[in-house]
Amino acid sequence: MIVLGADIIVYALYAFSSGSIINLSFRLAPYLRVMIIVIDVRTLRECVKTVVAIGKVLDIVVLSILFLLFSSVLAFVLFEDTEQGKEYFSSYGSTLYQMFVLFTTSNNPDVWLPAYKAFRSSCLFFILYILFGVYFITNLILAVVYDSFKEQLAALVKGRRCKRNNSLQAAFNLLDVEKRGFLDSVQVVSLFKSLNKYRTLPRIEEENFEAIFYALDDSGDFKITLEEFEDLCEKIALKFPKAPEPSWFERFPTFYNSVYSTKLKEFVKSQKFEYVIFAMLLLNLVAVVIEITLDLQDNSQQAVWQDIEFTFGWIYVVEMLLKIYAYGFFNYWREGLNKFDFCITIIIVVGETLTFALPNTASIISNEEWIRYLLIARLLRLIRLLMHIQRYRVIISTFLKLIPWLTPYLGMIFCLMCIYCSLGVQLFGGLVSNYNETFETTGLYENDYSVHNFNDFASGMVTLFNLLVMGSWQVWLESYVTLTGTWWTSVFFLSFYLLAILYLLNLVIAFVLEAFFVEMELSTVPIDIRKAEATELGTQKDLIEKAQQARHENVESLLNRMLGEQLEEEKS
């Protein structure tokens, strides 16, 4: 913080003395801010340590460099004194550069078109180069890096577990006053109540006390041993489904529990009701598309379809009221999708009603264009159709489960982009300008990419995103080499490709892919519900089922499954 403050003071003094705030060529503040964030956020700090500690890649990196150097020499010799050599391979340096870009496939097939036009057989050289380089070397690098990454991640998890287990063992010994070697439910519940007294710890809901106890009790003997107690932190973090709350309508049992009311509630809770709503949504989708099309054509039939959409709005109101009646308002409101439906439906119906009742009154809530956007938003409920397909349900649940774990790794890529963006602004800021005559000779000008530059931080981040997705990244490299007049500029772009794309981004993608495969495998394993005593079957079986369901939904179980082999190696 002292260095950051000193940088700000120096910058302010410079700006005051020179009368300008853009001429200071170098500042430490942008880089220090990134470092402060990395140091301050624990998950991000651990993520950086894990990635930096990755080894075992030197051999494969040397192999890749030798492959690139040898291929460049071969290309330079083979196409000497040809149109290909004159245009792209005029020197070994330019050949090495073009072959590296071809390694990323960004200039394929443009770079070897002259050779292909002259001799069709010359395509064999480039095809073999791409097949071996892109589909073998690149994937080999990814495999080696990812395997080393999993080892480092397993070591981090193991180290964290060792520290945690030491503390839990000490706590277990304090709780086991009678030295029985296990804790009963009374002792565990008492511990949970004591933990709730500390504001710095997550609060444990009392209704989940017994469910957490059963989640800890792997053996099913209603005794928590030291080995089971070591999973306490993981089990406390589990999210258990809440028990349904009684409906307000249950105050009138004669009516609410009557035969017709029971049949209505069963129908609303059944799949048939869902299918009816999905059919309404599909019809509504057709109506919205037709109404928008007629609106664009200024067709008089548009008013008819607006009336149809108005009818659909009240159908959704009826659906909402039926669900509230069947489930109870609080149980209905717990589901995020129901909250979305409720808000969208109320706003649309109120807006449409005002439009019909007061057609000449200008109001935001009755604006037809705005209501149309809300109608389209409501049709997003069709995504629920995918949840009825097992594979899609697994994909969506895995994606949502991985978001918290992937956040620090995506944050690390973002921090790297911030560093490169700050450096890019300081090195290349102001070069892309209509007042710069050299700019008109660059690829950025020819391709109309002038808005993607490093003149300011915001546009620099957008430019780096374009480089991250490999969208003709060599255009920026070649253009800035021309603008700066030195090939040292290429180090900026090449290093960003190696670190951000070839290393970090591919690492995250590989982890996500394996997580999907593991989660799909876990989804096929049936939930094993242990048999409780006959006298306690009802309540305890529900609690055990809740515990098992929460355990399967925990991201920690997914990591344990993915790192199982590495964790076993660490134990041995």
pLDDT tens-digit profile of 420-456?
999 998 888 888 888 888 888 888 888 888 888 888 8
Burial environment of residue 196 by CB neighbours within 10 A (0 to 12, 13 to 18, 19 or more): middle
pLDDT at 506: 81
Tell me which residue of 377, 369, 381, 378 sits closest to 291, measured CA to CA.
369
Q: What is the mean pLDDT of residues 292-312?
A: 77
Q: What is the mean pLDDT of residues 370-390?
A: 65
pLDDT at 373: 67
More confident residue, 144 or 528: 144
CB 244 within 8 A of CB 331: yes
pLDDT band at 161 (very low <50, low <70, confident <90, very high): confident
In this predicted structure, the answer to whether residue 548 has a pLDDT above a threshold of 60 is no
The CA-atom distances, in angstroms, between 374 and each of 278, 285, 366, 491 are 17, 12, 11, 48
Q: State pLDDT tens for residues 201-215.
A: 777 777 777 778 877
pLDDT band at 21 (very low <50, low <70, confident <90, very high): very low
In this predicted structure, the answer to whether residue 549 has a pLDDT above a threshold of 60 is no
Q: What is the mean pLDDT of residues 539-550?
A: 49
pLDDT at 5: 60
* The Cα angle at residue 415 between residues 456 and 555, in degrees rounded to 5: 140
pLDDT band at 388 (very low <50, low <70, confident <90, very high): low
* The Cα angle at residue 201 between residues 40 and 214, in degrees rounded to 5: 125
| Percent of the chain topping pLDDT 70 | 78
Q: State pLDDT tens for residues 312-347.
A: 888 888 888 999 888 888 888 887 778 877 887 887
Q: What are phi and psi of 224, to 5 degrees?
A: -100, 110
The CA-atom distances, in angstroms, between 156 and each of 45, 151, 160, 222, 562 are 12, 9, 6, 32, 14
Q: What is the mean pLDDT of residues 370-396?
A: 67
DSSP line for 487-553: TTHHHHHHHHIIIIIIIIIHHHHHHHHHHHHHHHHHHTSPP-PPP--GGGHHHHHHHHHHHHHHHHT
This model's pTM is above 0.75: no
Q: In the numeric block, which tokens belong to residue 510?
A: 């590989």
Q: In the numeric block, which tokens belong to residue 559?
A: 């990591």
More confident residue, 213 or 552: 213
Which residue type, as a one-letter code, is found at position 468?
L
Q: State pLDDT tens for residues 85-106.
A: 888 888 888 899 888 888 888 8
The CA-atom distances, in angstroms, between 115 and each of 36, 65, 68, 75, 170 are 52, 24, 19, 11, 73
pLDDT at 369: 63
pLDDT at 555: 57
E strand intervals along 300-427: none
Q: Which range among 64-78, 137-151, 463-477, 546-560 has the greatest average pLDDT?
A: 64-78
In this predicted structure, the answer to whether residue 112 has a pLDDT above a threshold of 50 is yes
Which residue type, as a one-letter code, is found at position 97?
Y
Tell me which residue of 323, 338, 317 sits closest to 273, measured CA to CA.
323
pLDDT at 551: 46
- Where is average pLDDT lowest: 81-85, 357-361, 477-481? 357-361
pLDDT at 128: 92
End-to-end CA distance of the chain: 44
pLDDT at 536: 40
More confident residue, 483 or 10: 483
pLDDT at 7: 56
- Where is average pLDDT lowest: 84-98, 153-167, 208-222? 208-222
Which domains, ranges and CATH numbers included, belong to the chain?
Answer: 2-40 (no CATH), 58-154 (1.10.287.70), 176-237+526-571 (1.10.238), 248-388 (1.20.120.350), 392-523 (1.10.287)
* C-alpha atoms less than 13 angstroms from C-alpha of 532 in its C-beta half-sphere: 15
Tell me which residue of 485, 504, 473 sits closest to 97, measured CA to CA.
473
Q: Which range among 19-23, 283-287, 347-351 has the greatest average pLDDT?
A: 283-287
In this predicted structure, the answer to whether residue 119 has a pLDDT above a threshold of 80 is yes
* The Cα angle at residue 46 between residues 553 and 4, in degrees rounded to 5: 130
In this predicted structure, the answer to whether residue 170 has a pLDDT above a threshold of 80 is yes
User: If you average pLDDT over every residue of the chain, what do you get?
Assistant: 78
pLDDT at 127: 92
In this predicted structure, the answer to whether residue 24 has a pLDDT above a threshold of 60 is no
3-state secondary structure of 182: strand
Task: Tokens 């808005």: give the residue.
Answer: 451
pLDDT at 25: 57
CB 75 within 8 A of CB 61: no
More confident residue, 360 or 95: 95
